[in-house]
Amino acid sequence: MTASYAPGIPPAAVVIDHATDPVQSDTPLADPLALAAAWLPGPGEDRMLMTVSTVGVDGVPDARTTMLSDYDGERFFFHTDANSRKVAELSANPGVALTILWPGFTRQLVVQGTAQRSSREESDAAYRRRSPYLQQLAWQNTAEFAQLPLDERRARWAEFLRAHGGADEPAFTPPEAWAGFAVTPHRLVFWVSNPDAASRRIAYARTGDGWSLTALPG
């Protein structure tokens, strides 16, 4: 799935039909990857924010919020600075958890899996789909930049934008440190709110070529 999107514009809250919702159903879908595809934004729709949780190099859990760039029906993609702490953590331990929460606390999807670097072609294509603001952010969202006083950060931001075509026609290319990751899931947990009964979760665990399914309390 692909989309162009601007920063900070989450998808609208979904309306749950509990009579037909697969998480509430007595016969949930057998394929969690298909259910994830039904839940997540499609082509041309706004991307979603998610919490990416990793194991720190010191063994302590770590987490931060980033965008779910894409979902191709098998893997979940996100992109970041190759010099970031989370990349160092994933290099030491590729185990990762992604937590995606829908507006209005209507749905939640937790993905546990293994992260691998995606190809340069894929990450460059993802960069081109980003808004000009996010493209520029990939260049300037660095530890060095964060140490600068606010006025200096504003001045350098404006200067960089002018050097790349200005606000009307910005033209950015992916920085060398731009990196993409594809997460192959081994466990997916779907949750749906239910005001009429105790909500529940359904958890899918990969078992060879298929999936086992367990209903859990919400």
Specify if 140 maps to a domain.
no
pLDDT digits (tens, 9 = 90+) for 28-77: 888 999 999 989 988 777 889 999 999 999 999 999 999 999 999 999 99
CA distances to 80, 98, 108, 120, 156 from 92, rounded to whole Å, are 17, 18, 28, 21, 34
Total-model pTM: 0.87
Residue 190 lies in a domain: yes
55, part of any domain? yes
DSSP 142: S
The β-bridge partners of 50 are 66
In a domain, 169, yes or no: no
Q: Which residue has the higher pLDDT, 183 or 28?
A: 183
For residue 8, is pLDDT > 80?
A: no
Whether 62 is covered by a domain: the verdict is yes
In a domain, 203, yes or no: yes
Quote the number of domains for the chain.
1
CATH code of the domain covering residue 84: 2.30.110.10
| Residue 13 pLDDT level (bands cut at 50, 70, 90) | low
Residue numbers of the domain that contains 71? 32-130+175-217
* 93 within a domain of the structure (yes/no): yes
